[in-house]
Amino acid sequence: MSATETIDLDFEKGNFHYDTEYDYDAGTGLSEATIDYISGVKEEDSWVRDFRMKGLRTFTDKPMPTHWATRDLDNIDFNKIRYYLSKGQTPSRTWEEVPEDVKNTFERLGIPEQERKFLAGVEAQFDSEAAYSRMKDDLAKEGVIFVGSTEGLREHPEIFRRWFGKVIPTSDNKFSALNSAVFSGGSFIYVPPGVKVKQPLQAYFRINAENFGQFERTLIIADEGSEVTYMEGCTAPKFETSTLHSAVVELVALKGAKIQYITVQNWSNNVFNLVTKRARAEEEAEVKWIDCNIGSRLTMKYPGVILKGRKARGEVLSIALAGDGQHQDTGAKMIHAADETSSNIIAKSISVGTGRSSYRGIVNVPRNLKGCKNNTECDALLINSNSRTDTYPAITVRGDGNSVQHEASVSKVSAEQIFYMRQRGLSEAQAMSLSVNGFVNDLVREFPMEYSVELKRLIEMEMEGSVG
Amino acid sequence: MDSLHIEKLNVSIGEKSILNDFTLTVPKGEVHALMGPNGTGKSTLAKVLAGHQDYHTDSGSVLLDGKEILGKEPDEISHAGLFLAFQYPLEIPGVSIANFIRAAIESRLGAEESLDAPAYYRRLYEKMDLLQIDRKFTSRSLNEGFSGGEKKRAEILQMAMLEPTYCILDETDSGLDIDALKVVSNGVNFMRSNERGSLIITHYQRLLDYIVPDVVHVMWDGRIVKSGGKGLALELEEKGYDWVKDELAVACS
């Protein structure tokens, strides 16, 4: 498809909201009663309820990680958040059946159009639950499962339970515990051995309500020798109050499987985006996270791969754009746990105005392993003199038979570069945007076309807004 | 009217005055050379004409076909038809020459217009062939890791694609070997037209062996002190800038 056909999804485009009546509302604040309510409306088995209760206890016990993370976290008021809002727990299979207001929202975001053009399946989540979920029939015949987590737990407990919470334990961090307590929505995907899903599966996460917390839980299992690409997009309207998005995403790539997970988030600047994402890669499996973080008030996200089997490969390609007043605290984790495993991290960040971007990385290769490789590159671009970037790489490589390579750079768009570009006719904003696109260019080339075009447009929008 | 007309331009940086009542007219259809020793204000003139913000204009006017461009934004001046080939072109990492020129052309289109990409590439390749530039060049990041000669060729290519009404070439010959100098000169000669005026700023006579100017001006201490035909450049080459200085001293005493 050509660039002009790509779905328009810009920063302002997500900033709208239709008034919606909810049939299910857990009210404001978090207690055991909240969990009873959520578990009750979903008609969950007792083990799921117990899992949630354990999550709540862990969340309550764990301190906020402000000893290393930003103090802005203290501004989240958990008592003012609404933890569950939905119109029902069963998604529609056709867009006609989706309630009018919800359908209008997704149509305005271009989701049905994208589905027709290049997707193998779509799940569209509106606040707490999927409003729409559908996959192409031929994939279903091959045994592929692509449903929401509510449905996954109900219909496929035997696969779900086996891997659920195994890659990211409840106690991993305060927000994974919170998600474990109140999770709702997200995708459950299972790809049978040897099945290669050619077109991407896509989920779209939409926050519609004010003071709302979205806690989707995604679990993707690619069985031996299978392949799948999953893409997620996210937007929310701009509210005066803050919104919390705290997802947990677990990926399991069994022997020789390949998972590519692409995120293009475009949150409005009132969203706290605190997400835990991790994969487990077995022998000769490959997991690639492509992570584009634009918008939000604060994003903390460090996609990781546990390289569990021999010759497993993990990759994180990450782009973060911190606009004025925003903080993108992103990075990657590569935990080598078998011989001949390799990992690659390329992180590029752009800070605009008072925006701040931080890179945090962990690479761990223990002494007993042989033939492991890691490559880490972190490049930061500062647009204004008050922009900020910090890098916290923690690379621990022990043993003689392992190799590591690390490069980092910080650059700035100079006034002379801008003058040069303006002399050719570009406005200041166009010149900025072209420099930023040039900076991320080599990375964006790795993305599927539809998303690279969208990303370019998002960057342009962001830069237009940044020049006064 | 059809000219780049600079009238009594006074420019300073801080307390230091750089251009003093600088006056010059380059009519459409003519190529003028502006020569002078280092530090006499030639490059400042080029930047001021292009709208660089670092310089303070105390007084004067710059008319492009009768329209004032002094005080306008650099992109407005560019759209008005003035092109500056930089003495030191800037590197723009990750942005290919083709995409950069494309963005520059797109900045000239109206809100409803869109660029015809195949036609754009056809025209780009045509100009590259004329300027003897390898087509592989288009995918390289603009000026990144370019040799001096490659940077100047990229400037000429941009000039050829943007088809400005007035071209200012700031020390385009500096750092060029003889082959590169020929390519660049061919480009400028190829751009010569009744519809275009050019001002070639140079320290040396050498470039003028390849680009024969209609008028040669000698700049000294922020203004033009002597103008003449192409013979003036040769005379300068022979006698050196001190000759002008001595003449000036005589005239002033």
Q: What pLDDT, on the 0 to 100 scale, is given for residue B251?
A: 65
Closest CA to A427 of B82, B77, B124, B85: B77
Contact of A429 with chain B, judged by CB distance below 8 Å, is answered with no
* Amino acid type, A251: L
Pairwise pLDDT comparison (A253 vs B184), residue with the higher score: A253
Give the residue numbers in B contacting A (CB under 8 Å), as ranges.
50-53, 73-75, 77-79, 83-84, 86, 89-95, 99-101, 103-105, 107-108, 141, 158, 162
Question: Are the Cβ atoms of B162 and A426 closer than 8 angstroms?
Answer: no
Average pLDDT over residues B103-110: 94
Q: What pLDDT, on the 0 to 100 scale, is given for residue A458?
A: 78
Across-strand partners of A213? A244
The order of strands in the sheet holding B67-68 is B16-27, B3-13, B56-64, B67-68
Question: Are the Cβ atoms of A437 and B84 closer than 8 angstroms?
Answer: no
Q: For chain B, which domains are there? A: 3-90+165-252 (3.40.50.300)
The CA distance from A417 to the nearest CA of chain B, in Å, is: 6
Question: Are the Cβ atoms of A438 and B83 closer than 8 angstroms?
Answer: no
Q: What pLDDT, on the 0 to 100 scale, is given for residue B111?
A: 83
| Overall size of chain B counted in residues | 253
- Tell me the chain B residues in contact with residue A442 when contact means C-beta distances shorter than 8 Å: 94
A214-234 pLDDT per residue, tens: 999 999 999 999 999 999 988
Average pLDDT over residues B134-160: 92
The CA distance from B231 to the nearest CA of chain A, in Å, is: 33
Tokens in use for A346?
A: 């390329």
CA A68 to chain centre: 22
Instruction: Match 């020929």 to its residue by tokens.
Output: B182
- C-alpha span between B60 and B70 (Å, rounded): 9
Give the CA distances from residue A243 to residues A26, A206, A213, in Å, rounded to whole numbers and listed in that order.
Answer: 16, 12, 6
Q: What pLDDT, on the 0 to 100 scale, is given for residue A467?
A: 60
Q: Which of B77, B84, B92 sits opposite A438 (nearest CB)?
A: B92
- Tell me the chain A residues in contact with residue B111 when contact means C-beta distances shorter than 8 Å: none
Q: What pLDDT, on the 0 to 100 scale, is given for residue A254?
A: 98
> What number of C-beta contacts closer than 8 Å exist between A and B?
75
Which is it for strands B82-85 and A145-148: parallel, antiparallel or unpaired? Answer: unpaired
Give the CA distances from residue B235 to residues A216, A241, A381, B19, in Å, rounded to whole numbers and listed in that order.
Answer: 81, 76, 51, 25
Q: What pLDDT, on the 0 to 100 scale, is given for residue A465?
A: 66
Q: Report DSSP state, residue B218.
A: E
A269-305 pLDDT per residue, tens: 899 999 999 999 999 999 999 999 998 999 999 999 9
pLDDT in tens, chain A (468 residues): 333 333 333 446 677 877 788 899 999 999 999 999 999 999 999 999 999 999 999 999 999 999 999 999 999 999 999 999 998 888 999 999 999 888 988 888 888 988 888 888 999 999 999 999 999 999 999 999 999 999 999 999 999 999 999 999 999 999 999 999 999 999 999 999 999 999 999 999 999 888 999 999 999 999 999 999 999 988 888 888 889 999 999 999 999 999 999 998 888 889 999 999 999 999 999 999 999 999 899 999 999 999 999 999 999 999 999 998 999 999 999 999 999 999 999 999 999 989 999 999 999 999 999 999 999 999 999 988 889 999 998 999 988 889 999 999 999 999 999 999 999 999 998 999 899 999 998 888 887 777 777 788 778 777 776 664
